[in-house]
Amino acid sequence: MWSLQGEAGSFAPAGWSHLEVPALTRVQGVRMKLVINTLVDERFDPVKGKKAALNFYQMEDTIAASGLIITEGTVLLADLAVAADLPLRILEKNNPHVLRDVLPKGTAIYGLNYTTSSKEALAMVEKQEKYTTALAVQYQKRRKQVLSFMPDPTTHSATTYVVRSGDYLGKISSRTGASVSDIRKWNKLKGNTIYPGQKLTVWKPKGAKVTTMAVAAAIVKKEEKEVAAVRTSKNENFLSYEVKPGDTLWSIAQKFPGVSADNLKSYNKMNELIKAGEHLKIPTQMITDYSPEKYPAAQ
**CATH-assigned architecture of domain 156-216:** Roll (3.10)
Q: What is the DSSP letter of 165?
A: T
Q: b vs e for 192-212, b when ≥16 Cβ sit within 10 Å of the residue's Cβ?
A: bebeeeeebebbbeeeeeeee
Tell me how crowded residue 46 is: count the other CB atoms within 10 A of its CB.
20
* Neighbour-count burial of 183, counting CB atoms closer than 10 A to its CB (0-12 exposed, 13-18 middle, 19+ buried): buried
Could you tell me the sign of the dihedral formed by the alpha carbons of 16, 18, 22, 28, in that order?
A: negative
Q: What is the pLDDT of residue 8?
A: 92
Q: What is the mean pLDDT of residues 52-60?
A: 94
Q: Are 176 and 161 in contact (CB under 8 A)?
A: yes
Residue 268 binned pLDDT confidence (cut-offs 50, 70, 90)? confident
Longest CA–CA separation in the chain, Å: 102
Residue 54 binned pLDDT confidence (cut-offs 50, 70, 90)? very high
The angle subtended at Cα 25 by Cα 22 and Cα 26, nearest 5°, is 150
- Report the percent of the chain where pLDDT is more than 70: 86
- Alpha-carbon radius of gyration of the chain: 34
Domain ranges of the chain: 3-56, 68-144, 156-216, 227-286
- Dihedral angle computed from the Cα positions of residues 250, 252, 254 and 257, in that order, rounded to the nearest 10 degrees: -120
Q: Please state the separation of Cα 268 from the chain's center in Å.
A: 42
How many angstroms separate the CA atoms of 203 and 286, rounded? 26
Residue 277 binned pLDDT confidence (cut-offs 50, 70, 90)? confident
Q: Are 149 and 187 in contact (CB under 8 A)?
A: no
How many angstroms separate the CA atoms of 95 and 107, rounded? 10
Nearest to 114 by CA among 141, 86, 139, 84: 84
Tell me how crowded residue 267 is: count the other CB atoms within 10 A of its CB.
15
Q: What is the mean pLDDT of residues 75-80?
A: 88
Q: What is the pLDDT of residue 35?
A: 95
How many angstroms separate the CA atoms of 56 and 51, rounded? 8
Nearest to 74 by CA among 37, 26, 111, 31: 37
Give the phi and the psi of residue 268 in degrees, each rounded to 5.
-95, 0
Q: Give SS3 for 4.
A: strand
Q: What is the mean pLDDT of residues 35-48?
A: 95
Q: Are 104 and 128 in contact (CB under 8 A)?
A: no
Residue 145 binned pLDDT confidence (cut-offs 50, 70, 90)? low
Q: What is the pLDDT of residue 95?
A: 93
**CATH-assigned architecture of domain 227-286:** Roll (3.10)
Q: What is the pLDDT of residue 211?
A: 47
How high does pLDDT run on average in the chain? 82
Which residue type occupies 50?
K
Q: pLDDT tens, 191-242?
A: 888 888 899 989 888 766 544 444 445 544 554 444 444 544 445 577 888 8
